[in-house]
Structure 1
Amino acid sequence: MKQHRFNHWSEIKYLKDMVTNPMIEVGEYSYYSGYYDNHDFEDGCVRYLWGDEKSRTLFNPIEDHGWHLDKLIIGNYVCLASGVIILMGGNHNHRPDWITVYPFAEQIESSYEPKGDTVIESDAWIGMNAMIMPGVKIGEGAIVAAGSVVAKDVPPYTIVGGNPAKEIKKRFTDSEIEMLKEMRWFDWKREQVERASPILSSSSISQLYEFYLREVLPSNPRMK
């Protein structure tokens, strides 16, 4: 029986408690809700990423081939639903600019092309069975609808959906989004987040901004 299995659909597991791969960076309170997928986060949700314990014993493309491998970077308070797939760099040996996309073993060293780090910024929500393609950046507060295939960057506080995923709407007005980007509530101290949780669980961005000016900014003026 693998570690990190889920016992019920309501159960979540914090990524900080699960991740062992050095190619994955995760923030605080981000979680994976993987009951229906029945996979571990690093062996099912994240795919084709060298650096897990088994792959490290089999080969080392950094030392063997000099490859610069892409990383997966996940911010704070990110929600990943069951069935989410994050495709990474282990299979970037299929070259569409070559005559064949077949990865001949003799050409593996020269065939690899990095896509860039895959980044899921803080407070993003990735819906059930969504697929994140390599090198994509999902902005803070963004929502990816269930079943979507995300092939390009998603702006902050934007809802996208479909295959390929396209913008459905902005979550807030442009001015409200700028306020949220300034406040970065997900980087506050945990006790400040807890005090602000009733406001965070509302639609009053102006009220949150007042809280930020009154209680957060004075304690950390560098946030401005």
Structure 2
Amino acid sequence: MTKKHWSKFQLLHEVVRNKNIHIKGTHSYYSDCWDNGFEESVIRYLCGDREGENREPNWHIDQLHIGDYVCIAAEVVILMGGNHNHRADWFCLYPFMEFIEESYQGKGDTHLGDGCWLGMRAMIMPGVTVGEGAIVAANSVVTKDVAPYSVVAGSPAKRIKYRFEPEIIDELMSLDIYSWPQTKFDALKHHLCGDDIDALRQAILTYA
């Protein structure tokens, strides 16, 4: 068995090969501590993974979009397309093959916003958006969209708090930090690693 340690991680842009997974930038990572890595252990496609990539799908395959600087802790599960054949509005939940196309209800694409953090063993259900800078607590089950710069926890996950005051969140969103050129991001990184919004504003003006 390959030796595992907390220091081990995978940069997603280096390991993801699935054409249905879209990675922005080069900084998002998965803490590859105990399992077989991001594509094999975290992403759960019934249809749409590499094993079935040569089969013609019966429906649109949900896409996974991952922003830059996304932190994904060990044993997170991201449930994706092809798993939605249990109809709660039908008398019988069983996915009979002769009615498999009628039973399928796609949930849409899943989005992990720039700079978000998924805690250990969190589960992200299909079709949700985790906003920029949001935190999903360990062991949470996310069934609905998570607002930017919020903290959610529980099963189902509910908002515990916002990380900053609303006006600061609005300002951070308007700055579009994670789309800055790398040189600008690196030059202002010191101010991003803090909570002084006035200092960040001044640094941006000085840089410009």
Same fold (TM over 0.5): yes
Letter in 1 for 2:194: S
Aligned to 1:53: 50
- TM-score computed with the length of structure 2 as normaliser: 0.94
Q: Aligned-pair distance for 1:207? A: 1.6
2:28 aligned residue (6, 27, 30): 30
CA distance in 2, matches of 1:191, 1:50: 40
1:157 aligned residue (118, 142, 149): 149
1:142 maps to 2:134: yes
CA distance in 2, matches of 1:199, 1:145: 25
Letter in 2 for 1:169: K
1:21 maps to 2:22: no
Contact map agreement 2:86 2:95 (CA 8 A) in 1: yes
Q: Secondary structure at the match of 1:44?
A: helix
Identical-residue share of aligned pairs (%) = 47
CA distance in 2, matches of 1:51, 1:151: 21
Structure 1 residue ranges without an equivalent (≥5): 219-224
1:205 aligned residue (170, 179, 197): 197
RMSD over aligned CA atoms reads 1.6
CA distance in 2, matches of 1:133, 1:158: 18
Letter in 2 for 1:32: Y
Letter in 1 for 2:13: K
CA distance in 2, matches of 1:33, 1:168: 24
Aligned to 1:189: 181
Contact map agreement 2:48 2:61 (CA 8 A) in 1: no
Contact map agreement 1:20 1:52 (CA 8 A) in 2: no
Q: Aligned-pair distance for 1:7? A: 4.0
- Any idea what the Cα deviations from partners look like across 1:91-147, whole Å, max 9, x if unmatched? 111111111110111111222111011111000000000001111111100000011
Q: Aligned-pair distance for 1:74? A: 0.7
User: In structure 2, do the counterparts of structure 1 residues 16 and 98 end up closer, same or farther at CA, with 3 Å as the change threshold?
Assistant: same
Contact map agreement 1:81 1:127 (CA 8 A) in 2: yes
- Any idea what the Cα deviations from partners look like across 1:139-189, whole Å, max 9, x if unmatched? 100000011111111100000101111111110011110110011211111
1:85 maps to 2:83: no
Q: Aligned-pair distance for 1:51? A: 3.0
Between the two proteins, the alignment pairs up a number of residues equal to 207
Aligned to 2:206: 214
Contact map agreement 2:48 2:81 (CA 8 A) in 1: no
1:171 maps to 2:160: no
CA distance in 1, matches of 2:197, 2:78: 31
CA distance in 2, matches of 1:6, 1:193: 35
Q: Secondary structure at the match of 2:82?
A: helix
1:100 maps to 2:92: yes
User: In structure 2, do the counterparts of structure 1 residues 6 and 115 end up closer, same or farther at CA, with 3 Å as the change threshold?
Assistant: farther
Q: Aligned-pair distance for 1:212? A: 2.6
Aligned to 2:121: 129
Aligned to 1:39: 36
Structure 2 residue ranges without an equivalent (≥5): none
User: In structure 2, do the counterparts of structure 1 residues 194 and 144 end up closer, same or farther at CA, with 3 Å as the change threshold?
Assistant: same
CA distance in 2, matches of 1:150, 1:17: 26
